[in-house]
Structure 1
Amino acid sequence: MDMETARMNIIARKLLLFQIPAALLQIIVSGQDNIDSVVVGEYNITAPTGSEAILQCHSQRMVWTQDRLKDRQRVVHWDLFRSGPDYTMERVLDMFSAGDQRIYNNYNKGRITMPKTAFNDGNFSLVIKDVSMSDRGLYSCNLHHHYCHLYETIKVQLNVTKSLRKEKRFWDGEKAVFVVLVGGTVVLPCVNRQPVWTEAHSEEDQQVVHWDRQLPGVRHDRADRLVDMYASGERRQYGPLFLRRKMNISAEAFSLGDFSLTISDLRPPDQGLYSCHLHHHYCGLHERRIFHLSVGPPLPPDDSAAPRVLPQDDPNTNMVEVPHVINVILPEHRGHFLQQLGYILATLLLLALIAIALILVSRRCKKRGLEYDLRRSERGNMTSNDFEMATTELKMCNQEELRLDYKNNIVKEKAEMSKMPSPKVIDLDKELNKTAWK
């Protein structure tokens, strides 16, 4: 078993060559953070003389919560995402800081493992023996430190091949890709060298907050210390007694995450540069907030408590107060403008249709009037000759002989009698008169 562990460690050391540049960069950055605190905020505050000033300094990461199950605060788990037709996510293995490992699939027991010293040396690499085609997919190494709010993820792509010449390892720009031969052994690297994964002797001594006061011309590392407070409840105050009484922070600072400094009875000598330092050595937290405090002139006396004049003694009692009108101009929304534009266009279209209808009706009426005038003029130009011509034509039409075959002589005689002119009526009296005149 020791030989197997030694062989696994040798393989893991060889794979660490892929992450040497990133590890060196990480160590340099963490070393710079430990040298000095990082300034996360700078504020300018002005308060009148004699008032009370509160320099607010909050941090939820510094909230002290004692948890006896410290082995549950740090955990690492490996997940597998298969990109086949199923697209399933599967939990492969997880391990707590106490060293207990849990494998979720019975098929992987004795085949997939992780070093038991992972939380001591920071090597959380996953070892897979007897690699098969079902092991293909995207693996993710997830590191969680619930107490320090640390969440990191490292992804590795595993591909399986049956050809020895296709076996290789490379970086695709986002993740490491391993092409492994079927039946072989592969170590998927997941290394974290941050101090946060190192065991601490006493976590209560690792959290501290302190306030400093920096006089003009003095560097911040040589500033006067005002208050020191530890998560265990220990408090230290510096300076003269009157200064310790007027400058203080709450006793429940670590339970509330509120480390604000309260300064009462402000005076001009109290102005200056104040800084709030938050340190959590176990979690690697080093923050500093800077406050520029200025003390202004005292507030004018408040006349709101002065006795007011009675209504009957007030000369302005009968005056009517003019109402104050406030004009509020709200910017119109773009949709409102489009709606109004639609209304205007619809109105213009309706007016155009009405105008077109009126034009068509007027033209039609003019055309009818013109036709009526033409007919009337034609009727006025007609003479008596026209009527005589029509009568003559009618007579000619009536005098046409109809050559018809009659059935018998009676019908023929009736027809001939109808063609004969009607007998002329002669008035004898008129004829006698005409003869007498002659």
Structure 2
Amino acid sequence: MELLSRVLLWKLLLLQSSAVLSSGTAAASSSLVSESVVSLAAGTQAVLRCQSPRMVWTQDRLHDRQRVVHWDLSGGPGSQRRRLVDMYSAGEQRVYEPRDRDRLLLSPSAFHDGNFSLLIRAVDRGDEGVYTCNLHHHYCHLDESLAVRLEVTEDPLLSRAYWDGEKEVLVVAHGAPALMTCINRAHVWTDRHLEEAQQVVHWDRQLPGVSHDRADRLLDLYASGERRAYGPPFLRDRVSVNTNAFARGDFSLRIDELERADEGIYSCHLHHHYCGLHERRVFHLQVTEPAFEPPARASPGNGSGHSSAPS
């Protein structure tokens, strides 16, 4: 009977959708991070800054991606939050309190099906409080959390679940199982991809008056090391990005010996498809005339003046 009830609970868990962690990584369109005007004199070097620590490539040979889920419990007002259980994507699971072993359950397939819900086999008064489901993706610098309040009643007829405007509240009979739902099926928590195939940076250039959708591609950079250069010949040989860009997260564009023809709108696009990062930085480059430098004044004794010999 106990085994049957557990099977039914987990089937119910798969059907529940009320407590779902929404991830902000699903959007594929680029978000505009910054837009600036850069004005420099002809003949100088322009450096258009485009940096992001989230684009640093750290190859994950264990395919673990440093993903972890942990459940915490906060009791009444003034009580200290304590860690109940955590589990890494590699499969290691740890229950912190001896009394909770075999009593708190996480699905071992959580990082495959996105079901991070916590099952308490038999609740008691000491289990009351606010439970938080916390997802951390150290590689992608992502954090998600969700709260569920558990209340314990002696009357099974009072058992129910409702939304208090901020979180789900479960009222569960003493000794009955409780299911704290936490579901996040975003691919960043469940899928595994080759990192070098998921990271790309490209620079575009628009001439004044040209719309964004007609911009010319200047450079494509891949974490695998592949680079592709485009653009007009007069500019192609004068633009560069550091060879170790993905190691430093610095994709700044350098343009040597600026010319008036270099004016335009330059945009840096950062894409980390696995982590869901899509950012765009825009630079309006203006090239002015070189600063006028007056000729140096002649100093005495440099041979530039006439002198008369004493008589």
TM-score (norm 2): 0.88
Quote how far apart the aligned CAs of 1:299 are: 1.8
Q: 1:105 aligns with which of 97, 100, 123?
A: 97
Q: Name stretches of at least 5 consecutive residues in structure 1 with no aligned partner.
A: 311-438
Give the aligned partner of residue 63 of structure 1.
56
Q: Contact 1:72/1:96 (CA < 8 Å) preserved in 2?
A: no
Q: 1:237 aligns with which of 225, 229, 234?
A: 229
Give the aligned partner of residue 12 of structure 2.
11
Query: Residue type matched to 1:80 in 2?
Result: L
The answer on 1:38 being equivalent to 2:31 is yes
Q: Contact 1:11/1:187 (CA < 8 Å) preserved in 2?
A: no
Query: Residue type matched to 1:118 in 2?
Result: A
| 3-state SS, counterpart of residue 71 of structure 1 | coil
Query: Residue type matched to 2:84 in 1?
Result: V
For 1:219 and 1:115, how far apart are their aligned partners in 2?
A: 50
Q: 1:49 aligns with which of 39, 42, 46?
A: 42
User: Relative to structure 1, is the Cα distance of residues 307 and 251 closer, same or farther in structure 2, using a 3 angstrom cutoff?
Assistant: farther
| 3-state SS, counterpart of residue 79 of structure 1 | strand
| 3-state SS, counterpart of residue 116 of structure 2 | coil
Q: Contact 1:195/1:284 (CA < 8 Å) preserved in 2?
A: no
Quote how far apart the aligned CAs of 1:241 are: 4.3
Query: Residue type matched to 2:103 in 1?
Result: R
User: Relative to structure 1, is the Cα distance of residues 269 and 64 closer, same or farther in structure 2, using a 3 angstrom cutoff?
Assistant: same
1:19-61 deviation per Cα after TM superposition (whole angstroms, max 9, x unaligned): 47x85xx6xx766x31x31111111111112221111111111
1:295-341 deviation per Cα after TM superposition (whole angstroms, max 9, x unaligned): 111221265x655458xxxxxxxxxxxxxxxxxxxxxxxxxxxxxxx
| 3-state SS, counterpart of residue 131 of structure 1 | coil
Larger Rg: 1
Quote how far apart the aligned CAs of 1:200 are: 2.6
Give the aligned partner of residue 300 of structure 1.
292
1:114-171 deviation per Cα after TM superposition (whole angstroms, max 9, x unaligned): 1122112211000111212221122111110011111122111111111122212112
The answer on 1:73 being equivalent to 2:66 is yes
Give the aligned partner of residue 260 of structure 1.
252
Quote how far apart the aligned CAs of 1:70 are: 4.4
| RMSD after superposition | 2.4
The answer on 1:141 being equivalent to 2:141 is no
For 1:259 and 1:307, how far apart are their aligned partners in 2?
A: 46
Report which of the two has the higher share of helix. 1
For 2:25 and 2:60, how far apart are their aligned partners in 1?
A: 27
Give the aligned partner of residue 262 of structure 2.
270
For 2:71 and 2:150, how far apart are their aligned partners in 1?
A: 13
For 2:267 and 2:151, how far apart are their aligned partners in 1?
A: 53
Q: Name stretches of at least 5 consecutive residues in structure 2 with no aligned partner.
A: 302-311
Give the aligned partner of residue 306 of structure 2.
none
- Describe how 1:352-431 pairs up with structure 2 within 5 A: none
TM-score (norm 1): 0.64
User: Relative to structure 1, is the Cα distance of residues 98 and 302 closer, same or farther in structure 2, using a 3 angstrom cutoff?
Assistant: farther
For 2:109 and 2:3, how far apart are their aligned partners in 1?
A: 13
| 3-state SS, counterpart of residue 173 of structure 1 | coil
Give the aligned partner of residue 395 of structure 1.
none
Give the aligned partner of residue 175 of structure 2.
183
For 1:155 and 1:270, how far apart are their aligned partners in 2?
A: 53
Number of equivalences: 300
Report which of the two has the higher share of strand. 2
Q: Contact 2:19/2:181 (CA < 8 Å) preserved in 1?
A: no
Q: Contact 1:156/1:188 (CA < 8 Å) preserved in 2?
A: yes
